[in-house]
Amino acid sequence: MKTRRDFVKLAAAAGTLGVGRGAAQSPPPAVASGDALATGAAARAYWCQVAGRLASPLLPALAARKLKVSMPVESHPSSKDRPQYTYLEGFGRLLAGLAPWLELGGDASAEGRDRERLAALARTAIEAGTDPASPDFLNFAKGRQPLVDAAFLAQAMLRAPQELWGKLEPRVQQNVIAAMISSRPIPAGENNWKLFASTVEAFLHRAGAKRDDARLFEGITKHRDWYLGDGMYGDGPEFHWDYYNSFVIQPMLVEALDVVRDEAPEWKVFSDKSRERLTRWAAVQERLIAPDGSYPPIGRSLAYRGGAFQGLAMAAWRKLLAKEVSPAQARGALTAVIRRTMEAAGTFDAKGWLRIGLAGHQPGLGETYISTGSLYLCSVALLPLGLPATDAFWSAPAAKSTWEKAWAGGNLPVDKAIKSPR
């Protein structure tokens, strides 16, 4: 963004002029009755509305270089350091979910115009967040947390290589590369964190920078060893009952392998296996979702809300759904989750910022590493917005979920584990 006048014009066009003001004036998406969202067109319009609500007020604030003075920081009472991290958390995680949608680019439709405006705001925000002279220069290097959210921002740019990376000015691209490289001294623990380092290096490679092969391949090889069977990886060498196979592990592993799969036969084999495992994990996830959008509240990080279903969302977006899970089934299940977690009273504060919780405001779910910015990982449930409106995910008639078919007495095939050795 060359001038402040340009930003003001863009923000006004987006309906977000005045940091936080537009969000405060917009009510939460209304709860539709009955099957009002059964059609793909209605569901897509609703998803776009949710995407816009999540983007505002965060993107306009950072684009205006006012994020740090505008964004609240809700966190565990014992966590005093979260203001160091929360801003990059919110930005990287928001864009990780919206990136495929923004990558569709602008067109003459109302949705296309919204995408174009939000993508432009996102690029201006990237500039503001990686400019060392900016009051909103984000923390990529101090403490341990920045590795996590450098990776989510890197993931976003891998998912939108044209809109979020290619259209940046060369000066801004160099700032982004420098910021990503500055995260390298942060050690990655013996768990899903290995994939944060892998994702940063995969992005740097795609961006034309020199990659660190040790950091790139350690996350890949560790997770090859940590595969447990039937589409599930350990978070480290042991199994955890939680949703980290969706929050981090399967999406980042598949995408890191996308980058290196043609470099050696072993990586192509593992890439194919990782996709097969994502397909199985997504099939399991579709069965976990009740018709009202509720799902088992198991494990850590439940305040990431619908981000727990990034596995299903990614499989739908990448066309990796199992044959027994139609695109329409996935659409219905994900729509139910999004509505259940986004429409609960107290989810947003008066100015439109997310609050800690799963179904409304539940601060008890705020673990010591969670703050306001962390919550924006819920955006990854929206990955299928990256499919055009003509895709079967959006155009196919409504279909009952596996849960609905089973408990209505439908005749279902047996659910079987996959045989996918290490």
Three-state SS at 348: strand
CB atoms within 10 A of CB 160: 25
**383 in any annotated domain:** yes
**Bond from prior residue into 327 cis (ω within 30 degrees of 0):** no
**Domain CATH code at residue 10:** 1.50.10.20
Q: How far is it, in rounded angstroms, from Cα 29 to Cα 46?
A: 8
Q: Does residue 198 form part of some domain?
A: yes
Half-sphere exposure of 136 (CA within 13 A, CB side): 25
Partnered with residue 229 across adjacent β-strands are 232
The torsion region of residue 319 among left (phi > 0), alpha (psi -120 to 50) and beta comes to left
Asked whether residue 302 is domain-assigned, the answer is: yes
Task: Confirm whether 412 is domain-assigned.
Answer: no
Q: How far apart are CA 277 and CA 180, in angstroms?
A: 29
The closest of 281, 300, 150, 159 to 215, measured between CA atoms, is 150
Instruction: Report long-range pairs for 291-297 (Cβ below 8 Å, ≥24 apart).
Output: 291/336, 291/401, 291/403, 291/404, 292/336, 292/340, 293/335, 293/336, 293/337, 293/338, 293/339, 293/340, 293/341, 294/340, 294/359, 295/337, 297/358
**Is the residue at 67 inside a domain?**
yes
29 found inside a domain: yes
Asked if residue 418 is part of any domain, the answer here is no
For the chain, the domain total comes to 1
The residue among 130, 107, 98, 35 whose CA lies nearest residue 377 is 98
Please tell me the pTM assigned to this model. Answer: 0.93
CA distance 320 to 230: 16
Tokens of 422: 């290490």
| Strands, E assignment, 221-284 | 227-229, 232-233
Q: Residue 260 belongs to what domain range?
A: 4-407
> Is 415 part of any domain?
no
- The encoded tokens of residue 65 equal 């270089």
Query: How do the pLDDT tens digits run along the chain, 422 residues long?
Result: 444 444 444 444 444 333 333 433 344 444 343 466 889 999 999 999 999 999 999 999 999 999 999 999 999 999 989 999 999 999 999 999 999 999 999 999 999 999 999 999 999 999 999 999 999 999 999 999 999 999 999 999 999 999 999 999 999 999 999 999 999 999 999 999 999 999 999 999 999 999 999 999 999 999 999 999 999 999 999 899 999 999 999 999 999 999 999 999 999 999 999 999 999 999 999 999 999 999 999 999 999 999 999 999 999 999 999 999 999 999 999 999 999 999 999 999 999 999 999 999 999 999 999 999 999 999 999 999 999 999 999 999 999 999 999 999 999 999 999 987 77
**Residue 179 one-letter amino acid:** A
How many other CB atoms sit within 10 Å of the CB of residue 265? 9
